[in-house]
Structures are given as C-alpha cells and as structure tokens.
Chain A
Amino acid sequence: MKIALRLAWRSLLNRRLASILTILSVALSVALLIGVERVRQSARSSFTNTISQTDLIVGARGGGVPLLLYTVFHMGNATNNISFATYEKISSDPNVAWTIPLSMGDSHRGFRVVGTNADFYAHYHYRRNQQPRFGAGVEPKAMFDVAVGSAVAAKLGYRIGDHLTLSHGVGEVSFHSHDDKPFSVTGILEPTGTPIDRSVFITLQGLEAIHADWEDGAPPLPEHAIKSADLQQRSLPVRELSAVLVGAKSRADSLGLQRQWSEFKGEPLSAIIPGLALDDLWEAISYAENGLRVVASFVVVVGLLGLLVSIYNSLNERRREMAILRSVGAGPGLIFALMIIEAVLLTVLGAAIGVATMYSLLFGFRPVIESHFGLYLPISPLSSAEQWYLCAIVGLSFILGAIPAWRAYRNTLSDGLTIRL
C-alpha cells in the first residue's frame, strides 16, 4: 500500500499541470458546494434566530406569516392595530413574564421605524441569547430621541447628536413627512445580523407625537401643526399598537397563552408561536434552497467528471509506464489500485483546498456579507452535513476512479510487457 501511495503521488507530481488543474476543478466544486451549504445553513439559522426567547407574538386577527413578517422582519404592514388596553391586559397576565410593545408604520429614508419602550432593550433576544447592545450612546428615552441600527448609521453616516426626521408610510419615497418634528440620535446599536440593523427605534410617545396633529390619516395644515416643544410638555396617551411580543413565565405555558389570546373576547387577535411560524415560513420558501443545492450538486458532478476525463485521457500515455511496472512485479491489482488512489488523492486534495478556500472567502467576506445582506456567517467547524458531503465526494471519486482503473487493468493484461498502441 505504501509503495502504491508513493507511486501514485510521484506520478501525479510528474503530471503536475494536469493534476493541479484537476485539483482546482474539484476544489472549486467543493468550495461552491460547501459554501452554498454554509450560506443555506446560515440563512436558515439567521432566519430562525432573528428572534429568540419570545414565546408569543400577538397582533390583530390575520395570518400568522404576515404577523411574523412585519413584527420580526419589518416587511409588509399590519392589517390592523390592537388596542393599548389589550396590551396592558396581556402584560398583566400572571403567566406572562414580560412584553414588548411594537408600533410601526413610519419610515426614515427607506428604513422602518419601530416605536417601542425600554422593554425592547431589556427583553428582546436574537441568536438564542444575544440582545441588542449600543455601540454608542443609549436607548431613546425622551419623546424625540431616536436610536438607529448599525446598517442605518453606516449607510446614512449618523452619529450621536445628529438630527433626523421621519416619513409617514414605509416606502422609499413618501409624500408625507414629519419634517417639523426632528428626532435626535441618542444611540447607535451594534450590528446584529438581523432586521434590527436596518431599523430606526423611537419611543411609543415619539410615534404618538409625530401623529398628534394629524387628522383622519392626513397631515395638518401648517397653521394647525403642533410644535415639538409644545408636544414635549404634554403626556400623550398611546392608544394603539401594531403587535406585542410576549415572554411566558414558563415555556410550557406558551400553548395555553396562545389559545387564550387567540380566543380573546375583547377584540379579534392572532397569537403565534414564533419558532413554529418561522419553520412554516422557511418551509414555504425552501424551494429556493433546494434549487441552490441542486445547482451546487451539479457543479460537483461536473468537477468529478473532469477528474474522470483527466485520468482517463492520461491512460494511453501511461501504458508503457504500466507495462514497466508489471515487468518489475506489479500485478494488475496494483495497477488498479494506483488509478483508484490517484483519483482519491486528487479528490482529497481538491476537497481540502476547496474547504480552505471556502473558509478563506468566509473570513474575508464575512463582514461585507453581514453588513450588505444581514446574513451572519459563523466561522465554525464543518457541520455533519458538510462532512457527509465531503465523504460522499471522496466516495464518488473512488467509484469514478474505478472506470479508468478497470481500463488500465485491462490494458496491462492485454499489453503484457510490451505495449501495442
């Protein structure tokens, strides 16, 4: 075995260029497959870890997926609001440990505005046990304080003390703005790899304040507008919210709470368990990840076929070499083994370089991917699925190597000690 390995290795070195090209082809295939798998796992992980430790999301009656989308991913809009009184009832439920009120519907230069209170910074979790932290400044406390996510700060260049104004609605372009009520940036959140990075946070009173002088959903005439300074003197009651995030005292109470608040008589509500809704949503879009997997698998197959062609093409040139090996005592079995070892060596080297390439790219591009796509790609050891893929690739190379190996075996039998090309 040792001599077979040594001969196979030296033979590969002798055909350096062809070997390197074959290794590169396998490496690129493996890097792509593992990269796609890593992105897929990370996307799923990022997706399902966007919200953690929250047992229930309660909003106005409607579909679970839209509720999840606008409360967690800040996509779409609430079809209806829930009353602040209901929120207070939920908060006072003996089985509820904490609640986070969320009020949405405005934006700032394309970024969603989330009205909430201190409970958000105290109880919101993502990626299991991570919490939003401030890279600079503090959470918004006063009526016209605002905290911005890391991507907002990076893109718009905000610093503590800067002023910004909000727009009515959630589109990139808004025809109604709240320019007369500027907010002051008091905090910039650290990157989280979640929609928090692309959000703007204000207090519930702040959200009430910018709409305080609006009537029937329309902005006030200039003479009826209330100045910020005047509003700050007032105590503005919060009347409605978009949704409430709920943490149960015991995880076992989640189902009971879900049933209880879904059947709430005071107003029609929907209560969803985020984990289950996230899984449902991911399954609904899983065709995309399956498509990615199929493409990556085909790339691997093409890479391995390149390996087969490379070894197969070299056979005719190497018939003399094999005849010589036979003359010095190598049996057809050893010739067969040499071909198999060569295929496996090329694949193992290709796979190793592919994995190294994937990690290098991951290391180099991780910050860019995280900031541009909000996709958190952890640099972690190969997962069991990734290890399984690599084993399958090496196993396939063994099978593919058997084809030229069989031909080499036949050649050595027919060529004997001389070759007849």
Chain B
Amino acid sequence: MMTANPFAVDIKDLTYAYKNGPKVLDIAAIQIAASEHVFLHGPSGSGKTTLLGLLAGILVPQGGSVRVLGQDLATLRSAQRDRFRSSHLGYIFQIFNLIPYLNVLENITLPCHLSPERKMRLGGVTPDVAALDLCRQLNIANLLDRPVTELSVGQQQRVAAARALIGAPEFIIADEPTSALDSNRRQEFIELLFAAADQAKATILFVSHDHSLAPLFTRNLSLLDLNRASRSGEVDA
C-alpha cells in the first residue's frame, strides 16, 4: 500500500550488489520532495544505472529500503512492481529510446495502453488527445503520424519526454536524455520538460554527466558523495 509521504523518493541504508559481486551501492539516505527537480550526477561506474533500476522497481535492494511515492518497492511482488512502474513512473532514456516500428503518436500513447490507471488519469480525454496536448507543449504536434525513425535526435527526445509525461505519472526518471543534443538544444529541452512536468506536478530525477546543466535544477546530488561503495572503490560496474 502507498502511504502518505512528503517525499517522492525516500532511500534509507540502501545496499545493493550484483550476484557474486562487490557492493555497487551503499547509500545512507536520499530524499527527494514531491515536485522537486533533482539533478543527479556521478562518473561512470558510480552506480547511477543501478540506482535508477532500484527506483524503477526493476532491481530489489538487498539491504535498507527504497520508497517511491511512499511505496516500499521491496514489499511488492514482481508483477506488482511492474504495475507500479507503469502507473506512477515515466522514464526517459538516453538515446534511441523509442519503439522503431510505432509512429510518434503510438509511441507516446503506449503507456496508456499498458496501464489502465494512467489512462484513467487522463481525465476523460482519449490518449490521442492527451498526446496531442503534450506534443503542442513540446513543439512536435506536427509530427504525430511520422515514423520515429525519420525524426531528428532532438525530436526523438521530445517524443520520449511526451511518452514519459502522458497520463501524469508522479515521478519522472530521465537517464542522460540530453547527451546527444548540442548545448542550446539541451537547455531548450530541459525547459520544455520542466514546463510539462510542472503542469503534471511531477517530480523529476535527472541523471547526467553534464555539470553545466546543474544550475537549472532545484537541487544537485552527487552519487560519488552519496554512495559509500563508490568512495571505497568497491564498484566495478
């Protein structure tokens, strides 16, 4: 059961190691408030991807707890975690993050077809109408019928953002979504993402190597500082 919690993310005494490997994560605490825009950075091998896997409910911690939107994900069964992810989380990938055989509209509306809860949150409008509304905000309304393979990288990133935002998920995880964009486009993309997320009152956890983006966020987190495993040199992946 989800419980009332002022934090979108509440991590305590988290430890995680891959099978037969050293500890990848050893984090005392991370808390992210609802509607916060948080920038998480860290070098390769600092455990960013593993942390995102734990926040998305793909991985289960061996120690401590990971609460997302008040829900302790470790207490859920695999299928329940899948449902939780599809209903409450939006995920933006680094690059090539769209289903290549679906067009723009089909890619964006896909989460609504996979999650009845997310579809219900559209407030009576159809997924297509909601997608069009998001596309207008992200300046890609003229691309709805286009195959995603014909879009520029920047356009693809916006489609990925629209897909993550549709159905108003409370928590958006963006895993280095701007790494393929030039600096002007990066800022423009982040501003568009913030505007759309604010409208949905969503929390954003933005992961990147690019420190120049940090000032745009309400808070910065350094995984190198937070993760005791990476500090002690235990991380090898």
Contacts and interface: CB of A to CB of B under 8 A. Distances in A.
B85 A13 contact: no
Nearest to A325: B99
A325 B58 CA distance: 13
A115 B91 CA distance: 89
Secondary structure of the A contact surface, majority rule: helix
Interface stretch (A185-193, A249-257, A289-297, A331-339): A331-339
Interface in B100-159: 100-102, 106, 110-111, 113-115, 118
Contacts of A3: 110, 113-114
B2 interface: no
A268 interface: no
A417 B113 CA distance: 19
Interface string B37-77: 00000000000010011001011000000000000000000
Interface residues of A, number: 23
Contact of B91 (A7, A13, A417): A417
A196 B87 CA distance: 75
B97 interface: yes
Residue of B79, B110, B175 with most partner-chain A CB within 10 A: B110
Interface in A309-335: 320-321, 324-334
Nearest to B110: A328
B162 to A, nearest CB: 12
Contacts of A79: none
A321 B111 contact: no
Nearest to B91: A327
Interface residues of B, number: 31
A399 B175 CA distance: 37
Contacts of B86: 328-330
Nearest to A11: B101
Contact of A417 (B58, B83, B114, B118): B58
Contacts of B7: none
Nearest to B102: A10
Secondary structure of the B contact surface, majority rule: helix
A282 B82 CA distance: 61
A418 interface: yes
B163 interface: yes
Contacts of B163: 328
Contact of B101 (A13, A416, A417): A13
Contact of A327 (B49, B83, B93, B118): B93
B115 A326 contact: no
B165 to A, nearest CB: 12
A328 B114 contact: yes
Contacts of A417: 52-53, 56, 58, 91, 93, 175
Contact of B58 (A2, A13, A326): A326
A129 interface: no
A324 B111 contact: no
A131 B96 CA distance: 72
Contact of A10 (B56, B87, B91, B101): B101
Contacts of B100: 14, 321
B88 to A, nearest CB: 10
A416 B59 contact: yes
B114 A330 contact: yes
B117 to A, nearest CB: 10
A11 B110 CA distance: 14
Contact of B115 (A10, A13, A329): A329
A338 B5 CA distance: 37
Contacts of B115: 329
B98 interface: yes
Nearest to B101: A14
A416 B96 contact: no
A76 B85 CA distance: 80
Interface in A373-421: 416-418
Interface of B: 49, 52-53, 56, 58-59, 78-79, 82-83, 85-87, 91, 93, 96-102, 106, 110-111, 113-115, 118, 163, 175
Given A3-B113, A327-B85, 8 more contacts: A10-B106, A324-B99, A326-B82, A328-B114, A329-B114, A330-B82, A331-B78, A332-B78
19 contacts: A2-B113, A3-B113, A3-B114, A10-B101, A13-B101, A324-B97, A324-B98, A327-B56, A327-B91, A328-B111, A328-B114, A329-B83, A329-B111, A331-B83, A417-B58, A417-B91, A417-B93, A418-B49, A418-B53
